[in-house]
Amino acid sequence: MSDVESGDRPEKLGIREVAVLAGVSHMTVSRVLNGHPNIRPSTRQRVMDVIEQLDFKPNSAARALATQRTQRIGVIVDSSVEFGPTSTLRGLEFAARSGGYSVTSVAMQDDASLTPEAAVGHLIAEGVDALCVVAPRSSSVSALRRISIDVPVLVVKAAKDPNFLTVSVDQQLGTTLAVDHLVALGHRDILHLAGPLDWLDARGRERAFHARIEQWGLKVRPIVVGDWTADFGYDYAVGLKGVPEYTAMFVANDEMAFGVVHGFHDRGIRVPEDVSVIGFDDLPLSRHFIPPLTTVTQDFYALGVKAMEVLRAALEGREIPQRSKIPSELVVRASTAPPRSS
């Protein structure tokens, strides 16, 4: 490699100048900058040495022209209100920045007039290299299948999909851990307060709940379908007459569980002495609630990071799994206990 004195540097540095000094083609420099895996380590190091020596800052527009890529990921969030989607987006943005990508996102429920087709059209017009759909509803995924999209698409959902890459938190594992915990305490009559069943995560938890209840041979109760909000949980609890026959509740998210516990308190129903309550998400407030909430932890941030890892692998031509899962864990606190005496 030639030594470059400060006085010999071109006034305007570009990929081609780096290529000449490193003794490689400009496409090789481009591949190094974009993390392409099929570059010999010695070549990569030679290029990186020149970049460091010249203090070269690649121009994003020039890089896009050279690679036909903008280094931008488009994200569609079905709802940016809930804790999970927001945290997943933060993780994806962090991983994107670390890999030299930017993120452009749109939130569907923030604009009632924004259809999935319009959201995809907006992001494609921005020149994104790939799309990610966070916290999807089944209606949104169905709409995606009707759209011709020429970039990699990843959907954050548990079920395998022949059309899209997928990553998810293991909903079945989390639900199984919750039910098994209640059964181990002695509960044999458990009610499930589900989230909106158009949401794929809510549907996944509902199906896993019924599968595990049947495996244990427990009483099958009709589920109650909520809307994710604490207000729904509260209204449900205060609307009950007397102490419920069931001795435990598996609630599809922590916010509804907060409302249930609050409503039970106002009705004089004790948690966990009269009814055990277990949630799902492990929100930051869950450990400080009265009583502290037993719940299932979802690492939404790691989910976002994993989504970006899979998208980068797709964009860079590396082998990727069609389905990636983040494990969930049970956090036992004071809102669950053995059932009350008959």
Separation between Cα atoms, residue 117 and residue 147, nearest integer Å: 7
Checking if the pLDDT of 150 tops 90, the result is: no
What are the start-end ranges of the H helices in the chain? 15-22, 26-33, 41-54, 60-67, 83-98, 116-125, 138-145, 171-185, 200-216, 230-238, 254-267, 300-315
Closest CA to 323 of 160, 208, 114: 160
Check if the beta carbon of residue 171 is closer than 8 Å to that of residue 205: yes
Check if the beta carbon of residue 245 is closer than 8 Å to that of residue 189: yes
Contacts of 278 (CB under 8 A, 6+ apart): 178, 181, 182, 248, 249, 250, 251, 257, 293, 294, 295, 296, 335, 336
pLDDT reported for residue 90: 93
Contacts of 92 (CB under 8 A, 6+ apart): 73, 75, 103, 132, 134, 304, 305, 307, 308
As given in the structure block, the two tokens for residue 151 are 């970039």
Q: pLDDT grade, residue 324 (50/70/90)?
A: confident
Mean pLDDT of 121-128: 88
pLDDT in tens, 234-289: 999 999 988 899 999 999 999 999 999 999 999 999 999 999 999 999 999 999 99
Checking if the pLDDT of 9 tops 60, the result is: no
CA distance between the termini of the chain: 83
Kindly list the structural domains of the chain, giving each domain's residue range(s) and its CATH number in brackets, ordered by start: 6-67 (1.10.260.40), 72-169+300-327 (3.40.50.2300), 171-298 (3.40.50.2300)
Check if the beta carbon of residue 336 is closer than 8 Å to that of residue 185: yes
As given in the structure block, the two tokens for residue 225 are 């379908």
Look-up: residue for tokens 């293991």? 170
Contacts of 261 (CB under 8 A, 6+ apart): 233, 237, 271, 277, 289, 291, 293, 335
In DSSP terms, which residues pair with 291 in a beta bridge? none
The DSSP code for 108 is G
Who wins on pLDDT, 181 or 316?
A: 181
Closest CA to 195 of 158, 169, 233: 233
Backbone angles phi, psi at 264, to 5 degrees: -60, -40
pLDDT reported for residue 28: 80
Checking if the pLDDT of 21 tops 70, the result is: yes
Check if the beta carbon of residue 212 is closer than 8 Å to that of residue 177: no
- What share of the chain in percent tops pLDDT 90? 57
Check if the beta carbon of residue 310 is closer than 8 Å to that of residue 165: yes
Total residues found in the chain within this entry = 342
C-alpha 2 chain-centroid distance: 47
- Side-chain-side CA neighbours of 162 within 13 Å: the count stands at 0
